[in-house]
Amino acid sequence: MDRPTEIIVVPHTHWDREWYEPFQRFRLRLVALLDEVFDRMAHDERQRFTLDGQLAAVDDYLEVRPERRDQVIALVRAGRLAVGPWQILLDEFLCSGENIVRNLERGLARSAALGGAMPVGYLPDMFGHIAQMPQLLAGAGLAHACVFRGVPDRVWSHAFAWQAPDGTTIRAEYLPGGYGNAAGLMDDPRLVTRRASTWPTGCAAGGPPATTPRSWRCTAPTTPRPRRTPPTCWPPPTSTGYACGSAPSPSTSPPNRPRWTACPSWRANCAHTPGPTSCPA
């Protein structure tokens, strides 16, 4: 008999500071949202919330609700409210490298003043990623990233090793279907079990046929080590199986052209490979 599958749902909001309406109209929505979130958290210590990886939302809120500052600090210090590490969520291709570094530096400093930053390079809404992002995140002491857009369609596992051109590697958590992939999971209590057993429905076309929570779980050691080339497990784009291989050394092979070898028994050959790996299990 299969043991029950544990599902962790992360309450959070994605926040566009200004988009199809002006900044101040969006701020009215932000204030109303966080008023409700913080009131719920005050009455239920089980409540947790992740605030989109950017300090701008916190600053915009506290300008209107300065009396909530002590509550925000207490929640951050208690590990119940995740803030940062960025000051704003950026478009990586419209900013200079210096701008990206200063954005992260300022966000980490502001987060520290509130009790500490979420130790994750949170980047799910970017329209693609610069190659050096793992290097920049690792330089700031962040060993993990969270991404959605810009991930190659051959990635069918929820975690993978993300390597910069200089060899710096971090662990990336992929959100199949987007940062709202569980938004409708519990809106009908009668359907929770069925929806959970087939999650994540609605992911990008070409995904694996069996998208159950267990098939997306990663149980291999995934602790990243900067400037190492870890073995990785990836689904090849034209096969129902998986392939294993190591990314080539930049000194001996053209960049971005990993060597793949057949790996029919991918659990045995990948999941138990020593060192940092990225494997579905």
Catalytic machinery residues:
125
Strand, coil or helix: 149: coil
- Residues 156 and 207: beta-carbon distance below 8 Å: yes
The owner of tokens 């959100």 is: 175
Report the DSSP pairing between strands 243-246 and 231-234.
antiparallel
CB 87 within 8 A of CB 56: yes
Six token digits for residue 147: 């991404």
Q: Is the dihedral of CA 185, 188, 190, 191 positive or negative?
A: negative
HSE-CB at 19 with a 13 A cutoff on CA atoms is 7
